[in-house]
Chains A and B, each alone.
Chain A
Amino acid sequence: SQQGEEDPQALSIQEGENATMNCSYKTSINNLQWYRQNSGRGLVHLILIRSNEREKHSGRLRVTLDTSKKSSSLLITASRAADTASYFCALETSGSRLTFGEGTQLTVNP
């Protein structure tokens, strides 16, 4: 399967703590993207990291990519209740088509 596998499936933390989500995959990729989905809504793009990049930052988000281990992690620092959502990694292996993982459900408790 070209699908990414997220870990953990669910994560519950307190406001102010950091949240780390991981994505592992089995194929070669062009890039890896992270998306967020609020309950019952569409997905929103967060960050893209290319296969030749190791780390990217965007605000409170930090993404790492280790192509030798075929894994990526998404770190959300100083989490807020509004960060409660599902987070998906998406693999681009060819063209514009993405393959999404099953997601990590993050709950940030006030």
Chain B
Amino acid sequence: DVKVTQSSRYLVKRTGEKVFLECVQDMDHENMFWYRQDPGLGLRLIYFSYDVKMKEKGDIPEGYSVSREKKERFSLILESASTNQTSMYLCASSLSGTGSIQYFGAGTRLSVL
């Protein structure tokens, strides 16, 4: 079974802190994704990566950056956390190509105080 592991289930940070959310997948997938999920807004894509060191902006990249130094790991970075970044963050991975299924981690619920 594909396993996508997010480093924390719950995280509480202060405004202005630098925050790292880590995601690791064990199926040698080319693609990795970071979403945030908010009530009434569904899942929104922040960034995705289709190869090591490659990244593309999603629909809401402002205030975030990402890093993919190894194929299995995709990090989401909040350079200076703000209260409006309080949300559920979901990581996913998939094979490349059309018709690929995305496999999700359990999510990280981030609260920025």
Question: B92, B101, B103 — which one has the most chain A CB atoms within 10 A of its CB?
Answer: B101
* Smallest beta-carbon distance B75→chain A, Å: 17
The answer to whether B45 and A42 have CB atoms under 8 Å apart is: no
Chain A window 24-48, contacts with chain B (Cβ cutoff 8 Å), 1 for yes, 0 for no: 0000001101010000111111001
For the complex, count residues of B whose C-beta is within 8 A of A. Answer: 30
Chain B residues within an 8 Å CB radius of A99: 45
Q: Which of the candidate stretches A11-19, A62-70, A75-83, A89-97 sits at the interface with the other chain?
A: A89-97
Question: B58, B94, B99 — which one has the most chain A CB atoms within 10 A of its CB?
Answer: B99
Q: Does A102 contact B (CB under 8 A)?
A: yes
Q: Does B90 contact A (CB under 8 A)?
A: yes
Chain B residues within an 8 Å CB radius of A30: 98-99
Known A-B contacts A3-B42, A103-B42; A95 and B98 likewise in contact (beta carbons under 8 Å): yes
Bound state CA distance, A69 and B95, in angstroms?
30
Bound state CA distance, A43 and B97, in angstroms?
20
Known A-B contacts A41-B107, A100-B43, A102-B41; A92 and B101 likewise in contact (beta carbons under 8 Å): no
The answer to whether B101 and A42 have CB atoms under 8 Å apart is: no
Q: How large is the interface on A (under 10, 10 to 19, 20 to 34, 35 or more residues)?
A: 20 to 34
Known A-B contacts A88-B42, A97-B48, A100-B42; A50 and B104 likewise in contact (beta carbons under 8 Å): no
Bound state CA distance, A18 and B13, in angstroms?
43
A: residues with CB less than 8 A from B are 3, 30-31, 33, 35, 40-45, 48, 50, 88, 90, 92, 95-103
Task: Report the 7 A-B pairs with minimum CB-CB distance, sorted nearest first.
Answer: A42-B104, A102-B42, A100-B43, A43-B104, A45-B101, A96-B100, A30-B98
B: residues with CB less than 8 A from A are 4, 31, 33, 35, 40-43, 45, 48, 50, 58, 88, 90, 92, 94-107, 109
